[in-house]
Structures are given as structure tokens and as C-alpha cells.
Amino acid sequence: MRLRWWLTWVLTYPLAKLFLGLRVSGRKHLVTGGQIIAANHTSNFDPLILGWAAAREVYFLAKEELFRYRPFAWLIRSWNALPVGRGGVDMKAIRCCGAILRRNRTLILFPEGTRSRTGEIGEFKPGVGMLSVVYRVPVVPARISGVTRSIVSYWFDRDFVRAGLRTKPHRRGVIEVRFGPPIYPDGYEANRTGYELLTAELFRRLQALGES
């Protein structure tokens, strides 16, 4: 673990618990070595929430516009953010993800590919299944709740605020992260069907985490 990442986590995690009401359960499901944490996506702030919740060094992709805002840019760089063009995840980004997993690191991905405007989980893209099968790493589902009603979404999702989809909360809420048991790539074939089947299982498990 890099010293910069560790110091950032130690200094900011107590603040996340105090001001965001962050609660974490199921952290025991995270594995040693390479893994993908796959979560639902409702806010630009989600990667930082998952970094706090995971309590280990993580890597994630972030749209390049987010690197224009300080000190937010400093924080996401400390969290090992990799800039990606607005056009979506390209081959360069996929290669970066592969390099991270080959080094036995923890990679955060959002299978929806974009933030949910309503807070409901949208359709998953099969890229997470492909990375899991090709690089032989488990996928740990993570369900984030409470962000759409939090002050961080009001601050960091201004496009949603302007569209009337987020409002300023009157009181501090609770942001919760639930990790589920990992999905291992064993038994899934290295083809599109295998990738889609693993991704479909991930979708089912994420939905179930919201019901438990």
C-alpha cells in the first residue's frame, strides 16, 4: 500500500463517518489479491465512498472532467483515479484495468457505465464479466445506498441538481455500503456468453443486497 493512499485514508475516513454517516458491512467478503469491486452508481462521489468502505488501496476509472476541480482532483488522484474520456471505456482504459488486476490490485468498476439519474440500478454492461474471466479475478458486489439524499450528491452532482433530481438535504443522512460474497470466474467461459452470464449473476446479487 502506498504511503500517500494510506495517509489520505487515515485522515479522511473519520470525517466520512462523522459528516456523511458512513456505515459499512460485509467488508470480510473482500479477498486478498486481485479483485474487482462492482457497485451501483448514483454519484460522482461513489468511488471515494467505496475507497473508504474497502479500507484498502483501490484503483478506479473517472471521467477526465473531474480532474479539473481542486481539491477534489487531489483526492481522487490519491485514490489512484485513472482519467477516461467522456466517450466511454476505450481499449486504453481496458488495458489499464488489466494491468491493475495483473498486479493483484483492487479495481473499482461501475457496470452501469454511468450514474443513475433515478437511483434505480440500470442495465449492466458485460465488461466487468469480461475482465473477471480473462484475468481470473473474483468480483465482489457492493451496494451503495443513501447517496442520492446526501449533501455530497448535492455538491458533486450539480447537473442532477440543475435538473431537479437532487435537492439539498435538511439533515445529515446515512450512507451505507454493503459488500456481498465474491463471484469467482470458475465455470464461466471466456466468450461473450460467459461474460454476460457472470454479469447477470452480479446484477442479481447487487439487487439482493438492497433487499437484505
Alpha-carbon gap, residue 37 to 58, rounded angstroms: 9
From first to last of its 212 residues, the chain has per-residue pLDDT tens of: 578 788 889 999 999 999 999 999 999 999 999 999 999 999 989 989 999 999 999 998 877 777 777 767 777 777 788 777 665 556 778 888 999 999 999 999 999 988 999 889 999 999 999 999 999 999 999 999 999 999 999 998 999 999 999 999 988 889 999 999 999 999 999 999 999 999 999 999 999 998 65
pTM assigned to the model: 0.91
Residues ≥6 apart with Cβ < 8 Å to 71: none
Whether the CB-CB separation of 121 and 112 falls below 8 Å is answered with yes
Grid look-up 443486497 returns 209
Q: What domains, with CATH codes, occur in the chain?
A: 3-8+25-211 (3.40.1130.10)
Question: pLDDT tens for residues 50-67?
Answer: 999 999 999 988 777 777
Residues ≥6 apart with Cβ < 8 Å to 175: 20, 21, 22, 23, 49, 144, 145, 146, 147, 150, 152
The β-bridge relationship of strands 23-25 and 106-109 is unpaired
Alpha-carbon gap, residue 127 to 111, rounded angstroms: 7
Cα–Cα separations (whole angstroms), residue 72 to 69, 81, 82, 187, 204: 6, 11, 14, 41, 33
User: How does 95-126 read in b/e, with b if 16+ C-beta sit within 10 Å?
Assistant: ebbeebbeeebbbbbbbbeebbeebebbebbb
Give the bridge partners for 129, in sequence order: none
Question: pLDDT tens for residues 54-112?
Answer: 999 999 887 777 777 776 777 777 778 877 766 555 677 888 899 999 999 999 999 99
